């Protein structure tokens, strides 16, 4: 039986309970992270912890005492108790439990949840995963840079994609500024346009993905022409390549959007190169 960590204790998954007054359930009042572990080691843990701190700061949720100092050991213990080496760690911190009221108490004890599930390690020799996608109106709030539990727009978009036989939905936002692709429902979005790799800049309208940051570094190291500049749906339709990235997704080629092929309809050379470089980076840092 799987073991989880819940607010100070390791317990069987089937026995884990949050209070019905927990604000995670009542208001989606919390933040989360998803961390990839390979060979028993978390990849880019310092960056995940930094983003989690920023999400807590932005949402005015207190940092659990000693949590960040003990996080590496906590993840290690969770992996050991579940007998896992290659895993995805889901980490959630909510504001905690209090009688339902829009105004939350000044001092609350956050609820902390960690789960571990098996995942296949990156394999540079394996084919790049290919997906088709739809576009969807980006109706999310103006602080997508904080990784909060408020994922209903994401879930609606991803479900619409699934029902259309696609693997991802690419958000399109009109305001503020011109019509543009922001990111995927659970990924960051990239396109090769006119020989230049482009992705939306790290503004509050997108999540600053940990894999996104890694790929920016790897693209620069590989000498790939790169711009952090948004692209329009029309530019995407004319792109030679498109792919999405994320902690669990890694790098996945988008070969068609809204039923129309992107480029050749196959994985492109830039996508292939960055897929290999990401796999090598994770293998190196988690050796």
Same domain, 109 and 147: no
Q: Annotated catalytic, 129?
A: no
Question: Which has the closest alpha carbon to 47: 205, 282, 283?
Answer: 282
Tell me if 124 is assigned to some domain: no
Rounded alpha-carbon distances, angstroms, from residue 97 to 56, 114, 152 = 16, 17, 21
Domains held by the chain: number:
2
Q: Cis omega (within 30 of 0) on the bond before 176?
A: yes
Domain limit, last residue, from 69, 87, 118: 118
Catalytic residue from among 41, 88, 147, 260: 147
Write down the pTM of the prediction: 0.96
What is the 3 state secondary structure string of the chain? Answer: CCEEEECCEEEEHHHCCCCCCEHHHHHCCEEEEEEEEECCEECCHHHHHHHHHHHHHHHCCCCCCCHHHHHHHHHHHHHHHCCCCCEEEEEEEECCECCCCCCCCCCCCCEEEEEEEECCCCCCCCCCEEEEEEEEECCCCCCCCCCECCCHHHHHHHHHHHHCCCCEEEEEECCCCCCEEEEECCCEEEEEECCEEEECCCCCCCCCCHHHHHHHHHHHHCCCCEEECCECHHHHHCCCEEEEEECCCEEEEEEEECCEECCCCCCCHHHHHHHHHHHHHHHHHCC
Which residues of the chain fall below pLDDT 50? none
Question: Residue written as tokens 């960051």?
Answer: 188
C-alpha to C-alpha distance for 111 and 5, rounded to whole angstroms = 11
* Confidence at residue 175, expressed as pLDDT on a 0 to 100 scale: 83
Structure tokens, 51:
């983003």
Between CA 218 and CA 86 the distance in angstroms is 23
Within 10 Å of residue 270's Cβ, how many Cβ atoms?
23
Q: Output the CA–CA distances (angstroms, integers) from residue 221 to 83, 135, 273, in the order listed.
A: 36, 31, 11
* Same-domain status, 139 and 84: no
Domain for residue 194, yes or no? Answer: yes
Sequence-distant (≥ 6) Cβ neighbours of residue 106 within 8 angstroms? none
Paired residues of 173 in beta bridges: 180
* pLDDT tens-digit series, residues 207-216: 999 999 999 9
Q: pLDDT tens digits for 193-205? A: 999 999 999 999 9
Task: Verify that 92 and 140 share a domain, yes or no.
Answer: no
Determine the pLDDT at residue 139.
97
Based on the domain organization, do 108 and 137 belong to the same domain? no
Give yes or no: residues 54 and 171 share one domain: no
Considering the domain architecture, whether residues 113 and 135 belong to the same structural domain is answered as no
pLDDT of residue 17: 96
Bridging pattern class, strands 196-199 and 188-193: antiparallel
Looking at the fold, whether 147 and 261 belong to one and the same domain comes out as yes
- The answer to whether 48 and 42 are in contact (CB under 8 A) is yes
- 22: domain range? 3-118
What's the CA gap between 229 and 41, in Å, rounded?
Answer: 33
- Residue ending a domain, choose from 61, 90, 118: 118
Confidence (pLDDT) at 214 = 98
Q: What pLDDT, on a 0 to 100 scale, did the predictor assign at position 178?
A: 86
């Amino acid at each position: 039986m799987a073991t989880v960590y819940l607010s100070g204790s390791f317990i069987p998954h089937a026995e884990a309970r949050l209070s019905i007054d927990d604000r995670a359930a009542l208001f989606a009042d919390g933040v989360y992270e998803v961390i990839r572990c390979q060979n028993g080691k978390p990849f880019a843990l310092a960056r995940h912890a930094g983003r989690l701190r920023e999400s807590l700061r932005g949402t005015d949720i207190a940092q659990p005492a000693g949590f960040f100092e003990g996080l590496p050991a906590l993840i290690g213990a969770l992996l050991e108790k579940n007998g896992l080496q290659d895993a995805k760690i889901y980490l959630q911190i909510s504001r905690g439990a209090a009688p339902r009221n829009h105004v939350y108490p000044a001092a609350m004890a956050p609820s902390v949840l960690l789960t571990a599930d098996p995942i296949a390690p990156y394999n540079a020799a394996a084919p790049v995963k290919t997906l088709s996608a739809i576009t969807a109106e980006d109706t999310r709030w103006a602080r997508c840079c904080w990784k909060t539990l408020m994922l209903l727009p994401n879930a609606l978009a991803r479900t619409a994609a699934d029902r259309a036989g696609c693997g991802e939905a690419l958000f399109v936002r009109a305001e503020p500024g011109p019509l543009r692709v922001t990111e995927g429902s659970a990924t960051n979005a990239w396109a090769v346009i006119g020989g230049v790799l482009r992705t939306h800049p790290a503004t509050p309208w997108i999540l600053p993905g940990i894999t996104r940051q890694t790929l920016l570094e790897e693209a620069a190291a590989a000498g790939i022409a790169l711009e952090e500049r948004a692209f329009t749906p029309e530019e995407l339709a004319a792109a030679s390549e498109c792919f999405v990235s994320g902690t669990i997704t890694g790098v996945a080629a988008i070969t068609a959007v809204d039923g129309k092929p992107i480029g050749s309809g196959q994985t492109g050379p830039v996508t292939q190169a960055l897929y290999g470089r990401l796999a090598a980076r994770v293998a190196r840092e988690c050796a």
